[in-house]
Structure 1
Amino acid sequence: MPELTRARLAGKVVLVTGAGQGVGRGTALALAREGACVALAGRTVAKCEAVAAEIDAFGGSSIALACDVTDRAQLEAVIAETAARFGGLDALVNNAQTSVQRLLAETTPEDVDVCWRSGPLATLHAMQAALPLLRVRGGSIVNFGSSTAIDGNVTFGAYAMAKEAIRGLSRVAAREWGRYGIRVNVVVPNALSPAAEQFSKDEPERFRKLTRTMPLGRMGDPETDIGRAVVALVSDDLAYLTGDTLMLTGGA
């Protein structure tokens, strides 16, 4: 892994939810390596503290914050604390999301509620709380969709509903907030998350078959493949991109 470069994102402040593992961790590391001050928010603060220690090891700047994104007050508190600690906010990365897998015929209102509150509703609340800060100097919001929703994968009904709601929300925000210099985009990742890693161990043949269907022949790395793309969205490199969905699926 490259060391801290302090280049593209020097002076930027970014909050990442669900930053303790998987894509959230990879994104936080990639942002910090480019010089951003990163607030790491997650339900299990010990995981975020471990990522903060990784960032500290290469000279980056971060804080770990406990946050259940289904609690609006907690979201508002971590956004306020991030701004107080680092002097503002330039980007928000809404990564946290609970998933439920169940056949549609068996999907319960509780399943939908869990996915809804942790996904689109939490994303909306975080965006609303961040808006006054992002309006000060413009910025970027990166939300996460899912290929399971775009492809209509079986057993992902409640999760797919939530993820497509996030994409709709993001397009509306891009139109309403563009005049403030705020860009809003969605990333659809295909990454080697903890769940994917467990799948590869539990069912190695099915995992190999899955990766063989991908044109690039592998799952994405949470930091180098997904995180660095988020870096580009947060930086000025993609300053004219908003209201769009970036498919990081290896061509799947």
Structure 2
Amino acid sequence: MRRLAGRTALVTGGGQGVGRGIALALAAEGAAVVITGRTEGTLEDTARVIAERGGRVQTVVGDVGERTDVERMVAETVREFGGLDVLVNNAQSSVQRCLEQTSYDDVQLAYRSGPLAAFQAMRAALPHLMASRGSVVNLGSSAAVLGEAGFASYAMAKEAIRGLSRVAAREWGPYGIRVNIVCPAALSPAAQEYFAAHPEKAEQVVAGIPLGRMGDPETDIGRAVAALVSDDMAYLTGATLMLEGGRTLIG
């Protein structure tokens, strides 16, 4: 019996990168998966892979920066599969700039697609998560934990997500809902694009990872998330899991 058989998961930004890896891993453990995003083509590509592997999948095109879209994502998940057990808030848009060059619009973009989107999704999902005693995983970032230069608006948004998650873990624990944060370091398309533009940064980042490599979105990040939302981790909530090969080790 696969660990997530009979459960339903919603993954925002599930068409590519880390979100895709998480969706593939959840489906491999038996969950019915709904993946959302703004680009229909990437969603359909990921859905095809899940279906070819024998999984159950549905796609919902929408923008997590729009409250009505977020509410529709949750509603369509429940309508398609009859409930919601796992919510993964992965989608995030941002512009990487140093602090003095970061604009108010940059910050608005990061917050609207990050912590505000997660807030809306969690609020919309709450009645269904209460019914299932489900689990929420929100995506943070080691760049934010480290206060990495050049990531001002992104770091702000990701740390806001961690604050939101810890409050929700405390308030929703009595409902049996677990809320945890994952900070991944994975070779997603966004990371590949950034490293291609900043090759010296790529060398620096990998050199600072004790395990000597960036993570794989499915096997390193996705499978860890699948374990996190399973009954194997039923006593863990409010935690930040640093899935980044030891990059943020101190001392």
- TM-score scaled by structure 1? 0.95
Give the drift of 1:101. Answer: 1.2
Q: Is residue 2:65 matched to residue 1:73?
A: no
Distance 1:217 1:251 in 2: 9
Q: In the alignment, which of 84, 88, 101 is matched to residue 93 of structure 1?
A: 88
1:173-188 → structure 2 map (5 Å cutoff): 173-188=168-183
Counterparts of 1:104-115 in structure 2, within 5 Å, are: 104-115=99-110
Aligned CA RMSD, in angstroms, stands at 1.2
Pair 1:117-2:94 in alignment: no
Residues in 2 aligned to 1:79 and 1:145: alpha-carbon distance in whole angstroms: 21
Partner of 2:154: 159
> How far did 1:199 drift?
4.1
Distance 2:100 2:195 in 1: 28
**Cross-structure match for 2:54:** 59
Structure 1 stretches of 4+ with a deviation exceeding 6 A read: none
Question: CA shift at 1:202, angstroms?
Answer: 4.6
Counterpart amino acid of residue 182 in structure 1? I
Rounded Cα–Cα distance in structure 1 between residues aligned with 2:196 and 2:99: 27
**Correspondence 1:29 to 2:24:** yes
Unaligned runs of 5+ in 1: 1-5
Offset at residue 132 of structure 1 (A) = 0.6
Tell me the CA shift for residue 64 of structure 1. Answer: 0.9
Whole-Å separation in 1 of the counterparts to 2:151 and 2:197? 20
Q: Which residue of 2 aligns with 1:150?
A: 145
Provide TM-score, normalisation by structure 2. 0.95
Structure 2, unaligned stretches of length 5 or more? none
Identity %: 61
Q: CA deviation at 1:163?
A: 0.5
For 1:210 and 1:102, the matched residues in 2 are separated by 17
Other-structure match for 1:232: 227
In structure 1, how many angstroms separate the alpha carbons of the residues matched to 2:65 and 2:153?
A: 16
The answer as to 2:204 corresponding to 1:246 is no
- What CA deviation, in whole Å up to 9, does each residue of 1:106-153 have, x standing for no partner? 211111110111111000000000001111120100001011111111
Letter in 1 for 2:55: G
Distance 1:76 1:60 in 2: 24
Give the deviation of 1:200 after TM superposition: 4.6
Amino acid at match of 1:187: V
The alignment status of 1:221 with 2:182, answered yes or no, reads no
Please give the per-residue CA displacement for 1:190-210, whole angstroms capped at 9, x wherever unaligned.
001102223454555542343
Partner residue, 1:3: none
SS at match of 1:155: coil
C-alpha offsets along residues 216-251 of structure 1, whole Å, 9 cap, x if unaligned? Answer: 000000000000111011110110000110000100
Change (3 A) 1:197 1:103: closer
SS at match of 2:79: helix
